[in-house]
Amino acid sequence: MSKKIALFLALAMATMVAGSAMAEDPAQLRFMAGPPGGNWFALGGSLSDMWTKNGLPTTSGTGGGVSNIVNADNGKGDMGFSVTSMVGAAVKGGDAPFKDAHSNVSVLANLYTQYTYFIVRKDFAEKNDIKTLGDIVEKKLPVRFATLKPGTSSEFVIRNLFKVGYGVDYRKAITEWGGKVEFSSYSDGSNLLADNHIDCFAFSVGKIASIVMQIESQTDILILPVDEKARQAMTDAFGTVTFNVEPGVYKSVTEPVPTIGDYTCIVIRNDISDELAYKLSELVWNNKETLAKGVKDMEELNPVEAVPSAVPAHPGAAKFWKSVQ
């Protein structure tokens, strides 16, 4: 009789534990996207609507590549966009802005490739004989420079590129050269460039970016190559890769332009259940075609690259992606 009671209690405890684990998943998920005007902001809304229509209520708000990781780790949000190398830096910790290790985050999916663009006015480049990003640093030009605000993946990548790739603190150095640095949204930055209030606008976005096409329609520009030595330094420090902006994508590009490459990913709390992470991933994959109508970069999504190789993936998500490889 005692064995039967013990078995009953064990089964009851298992049921309670399973119920508690399921109860930990929020009734409404909070998705953290990006700043208004960019692909992340648009795609965040599309993802949230898609999940909600399929029985997983989700809200979407603004965010940034750094803040989304921090807020997922501390539970202020559940999921959000970032770049894969940044998730790796956060999990490891030790360097700003992730001085402490963030252990409650992993990747739900690598979605598509991420390119870092350094866009300069053509008249500024011609006047100063600028061929690569390194020319601005070597000549210590008084450039009027804008990027997205600190806390975004754009600013993280750009700050560290200048630091490890070119050996300068870009905010301090540009000011000392007689230039200025300001932080802007995608839309405001493009207008500042078109109106000749800035000389260079830098940001990270997908392979085919409407914001770049918009800037091209407003003024004559060049997309600056990132020097090989600087790209290698970023690879060594953060695991980024080199992507080429190929001719035919933008009218201002007539030959391959090498730049810093990464992946836009969805970062998620580790304490989201495997079952929910699996379902979220499954819905993303099943709705890829619809999502790509809004953000064309989603056409790049594939089950092999969806699972990062050097950064932790959520077990539930990894299980799904491997099931469709």
User: How far apart, in whole angstroms, are the C-alpha atoms of residue 174 and residue 135?
Assistant: 13
Same domain assignment for residues 37 and 88: yes
Q: Which two tokens stand for residue 203?
A: 């940001």
pLDDT digits (tens, 9 = 90+) for 279-303: 999 999 999 999 999 999 999 999 9
Q: Is the dihedral of CA 233, 95, 116, 195 positive or negative?
A: negative
Q: What percent of the chain has pLDDT over 90?
A: 79
Nearest to 187 by CA among 205, 172, 160, 175: 205
Residue type, 178: G
Q: What is the mean pLDDT of the chain?
A: 91
What pLDDT is recorded for position 151?
79
Written as six digits, the tokens of 188 are 């405001």
Kindly tell me if the per-residue pLDDT of 307 is higher than 80: yes
pTM: 0.76
Contact 263, 111 (CB under 8 A): yes
Q: What is the per-residue pLDDT for 209?
A: 87
- Position 11 pLDDT exceeds 80: no
**Confidence label for 5 from pLDDT (cuts 50, 70 and 90):** very low
Residue showing tokens 């050097």: 310
Does residue 123 carry a pLDDT above 50? yes
| Residue 83 structural domain | 28-112+264-323
pLDDT band (50, 70, 90) for residue 3 = very low
Which of 262, 293, 311 is at the close of a domain? 262
The domain boundary residue, chosen from 262, 289, 308: 262
* Per-residue model confidence as pLDDT tens digits over 99-120: 899 999 999 999 999 999 999 9
The pLDDT assigned to 191 comes to 96
Q: Domain check: are 122 and 153 in the same one?
A: yes
Looking at the fold, whether 104 and 143 belong to one and the same domain comes out as no
Of residues 18 and 296, more confidence is placed in 296
On whether both 297 and 208 belong to a single domain, the answer is: no
244/292 same-domain check: no
Let me know whether 200 and 297 are in one domain.
no
Residues 121 and 232 in one domain: yes
pLDDT in tens, 92-104: 888 778 989 999 9
313 and 291, same structural domain?
Answer: yes
Question: What span, in angstroms and rounded, lies between the C-alpha atoms of 207 and 120?
Answer: 18
With beta carbons less than 8 A apart as the criterion, state whether 54 and 250 touch. no
Residues 102 and 178 in one domain: no
Strand partners, 260: 242
> Would you state the pLDDT for residue 18?
39
Of 221, 258, 228, 263, which is closest to residue 243 (Cα–Cα)?
258
Residue 239 and residue 185 share a domain: yes
222-265 pLDDT, tens digit per residue, is 999 999 999 999 988 887 889 999 999 999 999 999 999 999 99
Say what percent of the chain tops pLDDT 70.
Answer: 93
> Quick one: 249 and 268 in the same domain?
no
CB 183 within 8 A of CB 148: yes
Residue 124 shares a structural domain with residue 69: no
Asked if pLDDT for residue 61 goes beyond 60, the answer is yes
For residue 21, what pLDDT band results from cuts at 50, 70 and 90?
very low
CATH number, domain with residue 289: 3.40.190.10
The rounded distance, in Å, linking the Cα atoms of 234 and 83 is: 14
List, in sequence order, every residue forming a beta bridge with 222; answer none if it has no partner.
120
Q: What are the pLDDT digits (tens) for 139-190?
A: 999 999 999 999 788 998 999 999 999 999 999 999 999 999 999 999 999 9
Q: What is the pLDDT of residue 16?
A: 35
Output the 3-class SS for the chain: CHHHHHHHHHHHHHHHHHHHHHHCCCCCEEEECCCCCCHHHHHHHHHHHHHHHCCCCEEEECCCHHHHHHHHHCCCCCEEEEEHHHHHHHHHCCECCECCCCCCEEEEEEEEEEEEEEEEEHHHHHHCCCCCHHHHHHCCCCCEEEECCECEHHHHHHHHHHHHHHCCCHHHHHHHCCCEEEECCHHHHHHHHHCCCCCEEEEEEECCCHHHHHHHHHCCEEECCCCHHHHHHHHHHHCCEEEEECCCCCCCCCCCEEEEEEEEEEEEECCCCHHHHHHHHHHHHHCHHHHHHHCHHHHHCCHHHHCCCCCCECHHHHHHHHHCC
